[in-house]
Structure formats: structure tokens, C-alpha cells
Amino acid sequence: MSETWTFVCATGELLPGEMRTTFDEITSVPILVFNLDGDLYALEDQCSHEDFGLSSGGAFDAGAGTIECVLHGAKFDVRDGRALCAPAYEPVAKFPTRIEHGGVWTRDDRD
């Protein structure tokens, strides 16, 4: 588990409907941060169905609050990481986010 928060970007660089990728500074886990109507959410940038990055052409639907993996069409809720349709049945790991000092921050908080 990383206790160190990773800087993602300045708050003005992640507008509603946008997403941004980063890597946890300690664990090197790829993290995808979403701005959903002003609320920030972070998921592991990896489809739970297959080892493939969700940010690799994945479609973020801000209206539905979902990200779709382009490899096989699995969809995940960006708020909690749960799988919404086959072929994915397992959720994607969710990570905490915070806004501090004018920036967006996240970290891999898994044990």
C-alpha cells in the first residue's frame, strides 16, 4: 500500500467529462482519474477481464459515468469500479482522490 499521494495534474487541467492517467509513485500501478460532473474518481487503468489498459482508446461516457474497454467491450462504473457487462465480471480497483494545493492527487491504497 502506498501512503504517498501521487500528483495527477492541476485542478484546471481535468475538466468535467475528462480523464487523465498517472502511475502511483510507490507501486507504479497505472491509475485513471475521471472528472464526473466535478466529482473525481480513480480506478486502476486495467480491465479486469484481460490485461489491457482502459485508457488505451477506452471511451469515457460522462453522461452514464462509465468507461468501456475497447478490447472486448466490457464496461465499468467509474464511481466504484464495478463491472457492468460481460465479458468482465470482476470490478476494477478503486482508489482515493483528493484536491489539495490546486492539484488533483491519488494513490494506490490497497494492502
Q: Model confidence over 43-87: pLDDT tens digits?
A: 999 999 999 999 999 999 999 999 999 999 999 999 999 999 999
Instruction: Give the position of cell 484536491.
Output: 99
- Per the DSSP assignment, residues forming a β-bridge with 22 are 31
In tens, the pLDDT along 84-104 reads 999 999 999 999 999 999 999
Mean pLDDT of the chain: 96
Q: Residue 3: its pLDDT value, please?
A: 78
Phi, psi of 12 (to 5 degrees): -75, -5
What is the C-alpha to C-alpha distance for residues 47 and 59, in angstroms, rounded to an integer? Answer: 13
- Answer for the pair 20, 12: CB distance below 8 angstroms, yes or no: no
Backbone torsion region of residue 15, taken as left when φ is above 0, otherwise alpha when ψ lies between -120 and 50, otherwise beta: beta
Q: What is the mean pLDDT of residues 40-45?
A: 98
What is the C-alpha to C-alpha distance for residues 2 and 50, in angstroms, rounded to an integer? Answer: 24
Q: Residue 30: its pLDDT value, please?
A: 98
Instruction: Give the position of cell 502511475.
Output: 23
- For 30, the enclosing helix (H) or strand (E) is strand 30-36
Please, which pLDDT band fits residue 1 given cuts at 50, 70 and 90?
Answer: low
Q: Residue 2: its pLDDT value, please?
A: 65
Q: Residue 111: its pLDDT value, please?
A: 81
Please, which pLDDT band fits residue 24 given cuts at 50, 70 and 90?
Answer: very high
